[in-house]
Every structure is written in structure tokens, then in C-alpha cells.
Amino acid sequence: MQNASSLHPTRQLLLDSGLAMARQTGLRGLTVRGLCQQAGVNTGSFVYHFGNRESYLSELIESWYTPLFDGLQARLVEDGAPLARLRAMLGQLMAFAAGEGGFISQLIMDAVAGEAAVQVFIAGLAPRHPRLLLQCLEQAQQAGEIDIAPPVHQFMFLMSALGFPVLMSHLIGGKPGLPALLHYALEHFAAEPDALQQRLEWAIRGLTPQERKA
């Protein structure tokens, strides 16, 4: 994928317009004609730059995701203790999830609705940011900073404590009929920055060997 700064202005306009539309209705609601009308671009320009809708959706998702992945890669190779890098990577990932939770929830619904480009993207995520976090978990284990355990299990624990509430707040938050306690929890704690940071510290503490807690 081209660097955003090197994209043709029309190509960038179509990507920006599509992302704005997708945040509201998901990619499943995006049509080439509707996109071109929104961007003020003719369909011929769309075909010239992207060829077809599927290629466009793939590039749109990548242009949205790549800055996160690049940032996490940079964090992984920074100097310092693995646990400090893990904390920074998780903080970066949670800030992204909190800011982009609406679009992430739309992607989940797009995949359920059968959008092939989204399904391919999700199916290909394992060797990307999850792999980076697993590498950092392994390094932290080797340094004696966290308990020895299957890194995948630890990753699942971290995501359930940190990311799952954020997604829940976007998928079901504000919906009628929610129990009052769940509504309150999602509204006040799920994606609120201070609450996210608190859960991150609790989670890191939960992975810390007992002798280091003393």
C-alpha cells in the first residue's frame, strides 16, 4: 500500500470519504455510486484508482489499520525492559480501540454480513498485531517480569480485560433494555481513559510473579 502522503488527491479523497461513511453505516452499506456522490467524484475516477469495490474496501481497511500496526512494531523494538514495552503497546492498542471502537464494531457486523474484504482482513490478523504482543509477552517471560504461561492464554486474558469491554460499549452500549448496572458500567468504565489505564495496571499486576509483588 502506498504511503498516505504520496497518494493521488482523488484517491485519498475517496478513501477519506469512504471511511467517514463506513463509520456511520459500515462497509456493508457502502456502494460505489454513493461513495462517488459523497466525494464529488465520477465513477470513472473510482475505477481508474481502485478497479472495483472489493479492491477499494481492502485498501480502505489497510489504510485505517496500518498506522496502528506500524506504531506497535516500533514499540516492540524500543530499548528498555520488555514489561515496559508491553505496557506501552497495550496502552497504544487500547487508545486505538477506544477511539476507533465504533468502526471496529462496524467491521465485526460487516464480517457477519458477509463482506469478503472484511472477512479476509480479520482472518489475516493473527500474524500482525497479535503476533507482536505475543512476542513481547514471551520476552517479558524470559526476563522474569511476568509469569511463565502460554502467551496465547495471557493474550486472551489481557484482551478480555481491556478490549472486550470497549467493543461491548460500542456494540450494545446505549441499546434499550440493557440492565441498569450493565448500562452504567459500559457508559462510565468501558472506554473511559482513566478506567482503561486502571484495568491495564490491574492486568499487568495479575501477570506479575508473586515474588515480584512482595
- Domains 7-51 and 62-213 alike in fold: no
> In the chain, where are the structural domains located?
7-51, 62-213
Q: Regarding the domain with residue range 62-213, which homologous superfamily does it belong to in the CATH classification?
A: Tetracycline Repressor, domain 2 (1.10.357.10)
- Domain 7-51 matching CATH 3.40.190.10: the answer reads no
Q: What pTM was estimated for this model as a whole?
A: 0.91
Would you state the torsion angle of the CA atoms of residues 21, 126, 195, 191, taken in this order, to the nearest 10 degrees? 10
The one-digit pLDDT tens for each residue of the chain (214 residues) are 556 557 899 999 999 999 999 999 999 999 999 999 999 999 999 999 999 999 999 999 999 999 999 999 999 999 999 999 999 999 999 999 999 999 999 999 999 999 999 999 999 999 999 999 999 999 999 999 999 999 999 999 999 999 999 999 999 988 889 999 999 999 999 999 999 999 999 999 999 998 776 5
Placement of cell 478490549 in the chain: 163
d(CA 72, CA 68): 6
Placement of cell 490478523 in the chain: 125
